[in-house]
């Protein structure tokens, strides 16, 4: 009975350690971000102000497409940010997906049906 109790205690401790490690592994993306976006239509320099609650992201986009609230997720070092804008009378769903490495991030951006591009940037002050 003692050995069963020890095994259960060891398994519980291992589960707690794994859960803590998984939570701690999410990148910290809260803050101000300055990005450079490259598309066939040209280059832009959007600014994101992001807040993070666990793996959920909220915030604001400001750039060539105007200003919009954003939502997204961060899982480990993978980030996804989404928002909607009205560009010249057309509703446009914009999505950024990529990776975070400390105070930098990079990846791809999809501009609804208008096309795709790449982005890279860094956390302001980072």
- Is position 7 within any domain? no
- Is position 22 within any domain? no
- Is position 4 within any domain? no
Half-sphere exposure of 111 (CA within 13 A, CB side): 18
Residue 48: which CATH number?
2.40.128.120
- Is position 11 within any domain? no
The per-residue pLDDT for range 45-90, each reduced to its tens digit, is 999 999 999 999 999 999 988 999 999 999 999 999 999 998 888 8
The per-residue pLDDT for range 113-122, each reduced to its tens digit, is 889 999 999 9
Phi and psi for 52 in degrees, rounded to 5?
-135, 130
- Is position 106 within any domain? yes
The pLDDT score that the predictor gives to residue 5 is 56
User: Would you list the DSSP string of 1-21?
Assistant: -HHHHHHHHHHHHHHHHHHHH
Radius of gyration from C-alpha coordinates of the chain: 19
- Is position 2 within any domain? no
Number of neighbouring beta carbons within 10 Å of residue 2: 6
Q: Token pair 């990529």 is at which residue?
A: 98
Domain count, the chain: 1
Q: Containing domain of residue 96, as a range?
A: 27-123
- Is position 49 within any domain? yes
């Amino acid at each position: 009975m003692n050995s069963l109790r020890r095994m259960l205690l060891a398994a519980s401790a291992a589960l707690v350690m794994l859960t803590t490690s998984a939570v701690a592994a999410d990148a910290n993306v809260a803050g101000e971000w300055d990005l450079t976006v490259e598309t066939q239509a040209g280059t832009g320099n959007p600014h994101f102000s992001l807040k993070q609650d666990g793996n959920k992201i909220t915030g604001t986009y400001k750039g060539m497409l105007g200003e919009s609230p954003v939502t997204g997720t961060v899982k480990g070092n993978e980030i996804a940010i989404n928002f909607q804008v009205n560009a010249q009378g057309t509703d446009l769903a914009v999505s950024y997906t990529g990776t975070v490495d400390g105070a930098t991030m990079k990846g791809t951006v999809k501009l609804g049906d208008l096309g795709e591009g790449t982005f890279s940037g860094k956390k302001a002050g980072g």
